[in-house]
Structure 1
């Protein structure tokens, strides 16, 4: 393992790490670096029963954003990110730190992640991402324990801002 945690990103299980800084779970309740994507669920600003499933693929920076009912996001226009994807990136940087997110996405460009991305359009992975989110939600029903649950590394237990 290297001191920068790269080996952790390549293992099937990762150690539980504290978030870089608290993030607002009401806006982006789920964010993860998984399956070669930065992916997550973003709450709709206009409809409490709607969420958006957004992702950016590592390497080619393909953007995808759909509602939980698999309808395309009206704000995503080709390679121009919508507000949901921007909120997802902000939450990921708060959770994992800029350096780790940029390294995962293979975006090189210093302190400005958006300048380092060269977005394209990607096929929707909404069903896969939303399924992952629902699986993680099932852990909220697990009885309290002091034993670590490595799959919940994305969920900031301390310093949560709601």
Structure 2
């Protein structure tokens, strides 16, 4: 490989990791491992217009869950997680694999146990505004008409295939 090819291979592209298992997006339409947290948006089981913005911080397992209207989740308490955080963790296992999520969040569980059983939860400040903004930003791309024209906000991303 020539030096230019080696430099290009080490460039700013990030290889996409395919999901470990397919997942349905109706219950947890958005999740990510970012900012030292597992964070995402979880649909309400009772109100189609309500979503919960939930997060688990790495290391201290700080839990946060509130609605898109910044109302605290009634099921989240000191020392235990709500069903929204449990759903977020379950979907993260499908998307990224249990081992990767456990490593990222520093969770230790017995074999075959769900990730939430290894949490030692504490309270955490809400990051709902940032997480929900990120979710809305991702949704905006779905509303764009199909086109091959470049998107200005993605101009830093190299076009074309990465050489092998």
Task: Confirm or deny a common fold (TM above 0.5).
Answer: yes
1:1-162 matches, cutoff 5 A? 14-111=14-111, 112=113, 113-144=115-146
Per the TM alignment, residue 86 of structure 1 is displaced from its structure 2 partner at its CA by 0.4
For the structure 1 residues 64 and 13, does the alpha-carbon distance in structure 2 shift closer, same or farther, using more than 3 Å as the test? farther
Q: Extract unaligned runs of 5+ from structure 1.
A: 1-11, 152-162
What's the CA shift string for 1:90-135, capped at 9, x where partnerless? 0100000000000110113353323322111111110011011111
Per the TM alignment, residue 16 of structure 1 is displaced from its structure 2 partner at its CA by 1.3
Structure 1 segments (4+ residues) deviating >6 Å: none
Check whether the contact 1:42–1:88 (CA below 8 A) recurs between aligned residues: yes
Check whether the contact 2:28–2:42 (CA below 8 A) recurs between aligned residues: yes
What's the CA shift string for 1:9-53, capped at 9, x where partnerless? xxx863212111111200000010000000000000000000000
For the structure 1 residues 101 and 125, does the alpha-carbon distance in structure 2 shift closer, same or farther, using more than 3 Å as the test? same
Using structure 2 for the length normalisation, give the TM-score: 0.77
For the structure 1 residues 103 and 144, does the alpha-carbon distance in structure 2 shift closer, same or farther, using more than 3 Å as the test? farther
Check whether the contact 1:31–1:88 (CA below 8 A) recurs between aligned residues: yes
Check whether the contact 1:61–1:118 (CA below 8 A) recurs between aligned residues: yes
- Matched pairs, number: 138
Check whether the contact 1:63–1:79 (CA below 8 A) recurs between aligned residues: no
Check whether the contact 2:86–2:116 (CA below 8 A) recurs between aligned residues: no
Q: Extract unaligned runs of 5+ from structure 2.
A: 1-11, 149-153, 155-164
| Distance of 1:93 and 1:129 partners within structure 2 | 19
Check whether the contact 2:89–2:116 (CA below 8 A) recurs between aligned residues: no
Using structure 1 for the length normalisation, give the TM-score: 0.78
What's the CA shift string for 1:46-105, capped at 9, x where partnerless? 000000000000000000000000000001011210000000000100000000000110
